[in-house]
Chain A
Amino acid sequence: MATLAESGPKRTALYSVHKAAGARMTEFGGWEMPIEYTGITQEHLAVRTRAGLFDVSHMGEITVRGPKALAFLQSITCNDVSRLSDHQAQYSALMYSEGSAVDDCVVHRMGENDYFICVNAANTNKDFAWLVEHNSAGAELENVSRQYSQLALQGPRATAILTKVTDADLASIRTYWFTPARCCGVEGILARTGYTGEDGFEFYFSPEHSVHVWSTLLEAGKDEGLQPAGLGARNTLRLEAGYALYGHELDENTTLLEANLGWICKLDKGEFLGREALLQQREEGVRKKLVGFEMAEPGIARDGYPVWIGGEKVGQVTSGSPAPFLKKNIGLAFVPPEAAQPGYEIMIEIRQRQARARQVILPFYRRPK
């Protein structure tokens, strides 16, 4: 839901709660969001070792319904929507014909002829306009972003906490499945999804209950060490987990194959926007390749820093940061495909000097089973 400030960025229904909790606010994707409460490092570690609660109500939600819904989604997303059962979700992307992404998204199958897509906040309007423009199939489209708050409860203690406030059988919800459920007395959609690399849930519900659900969850998690976590920790957590962020690893000039997202491109599912370009690129090879790296000497790579190999500028860092759990300085970067090789060294230009970095296998972090 969006309540408009007098001017400037939108605010979620929890804006005042975040301010009262002492959060530092920042603009992200057109929204004024909490970047941190107690500190990014501490919040990051809480999610890795206990649990964190994120307000991600800025995310967009779009419903796709009607007899043409499946055919339409198959034609404009890269993953195979026909493989979804009711109450199953799928990581995917809305596609340009060039094989790049309009946005990455999670497609949820509510039932036959009934889907909802969760998209990036900054892209919601662009995505919706693009969907409408390509909807020759005649699916029923609605941007329902204002009808939902979204909270993400993430971390190894998430299930134990959520059990206290829901009647849903959490053990029966597998990763990337969801169920209509009542949490904290509020009806909504409870999905076992997230963007942190931890186990956890995302709950979509009507914004008027936001303060109640937020505070009830925090109270339920007090003994488990649950704490609010901001977008700062969300970013460092997703980077450790090797997840792409639109505008960084993904944009209109980057194909999904180049961004290591070939696994969501089901080229044999039938015709879809971008398929020809992806097929061609699979034959001819990619122009660049996303790699993970760790700094091998002091220095922190940041978004946009140039990458050098053998005295030549060959690419760019897309995301770089200290990794609070791994206690290393890590990053993602595009390099020429022939240079993409775990173990190979690249140089990161940091303020007029070059610092050595070593390519590593992604993800940087994988949660213990």
Chain B
Amino acid sequence: MARTVAMFTDVSLCIGCRACQVACKQWNQLAPEEPEWTGTYQNHATFTDKSYRLVRFFEEPGDDKVGMRWHMMSDVCKHCAQAGCLEACPTGAIYRTEYGTVNINQDICNGCRYCVSACPFGVVSFNHDTGTATKCTFCNDRLHNGLGPACAKACPTESIRFGFRDELEAKARKRVDDLQKMGYKDAQLYGADQGGPLGGLNAFFLLLGKPAKYGLPEQPKLPQRNVVVDSLLSIGAAVAVGLGALLAFRGRGDDAGGS
């Protein structure tokens, strides 16, 4: 297996130019979409089957000294080490690549859409034209030809960086230290820790504040973690109903009448 690759997005460098979003659309030949009004410069409100990259804009009312604060973050598929979409997929269309990324095999996907609601980050989208689920692949074709993803190449401020996970993680941790020394006390990493939620994200972020400020779940959870408990409780209900049926059908007819 090749070394795991990753993407590191540093929101402190993002200027919201959306070059990444455009580069993604161009390289992956994603059709244009009607713009929608989301209340900010963000377009669209969610990831779509034609927008694998989404620059998210958040406005935070400030005080007298500082007016409106703008937070921008270029969001993307996290290629989770424990991926909800991959675990949910009943066809095996979603698989882990030799680079540690998560891809959807378009020749296998049958469009059941289970992965769409199983993603804790709302990344996987359903393409009504092809009848299949789609999402970012870290530009899998470019990856196999020694090129980084188109979004990282296009980013003019190096807010998006791509490379081997271990190297990027070290750089990210140094960057957090630097920012904190510069006074950005709330600088923190999201998803970099491989012992953290979902076993770490292969697209991790440097945030200036809590994840909720950027619309990210504080503690993302693998939905399939519920399967064992839910199944045991279902078996409990089955035992209760089964015993009830046994009681109802045993004995003579006279007492079954209950009268």
Do A and B bind? no
Report which A residues bind B (CB closer than 8 A).
none
Q: List chain B positions with a Cβ less than 8 A from chain A.
A: none
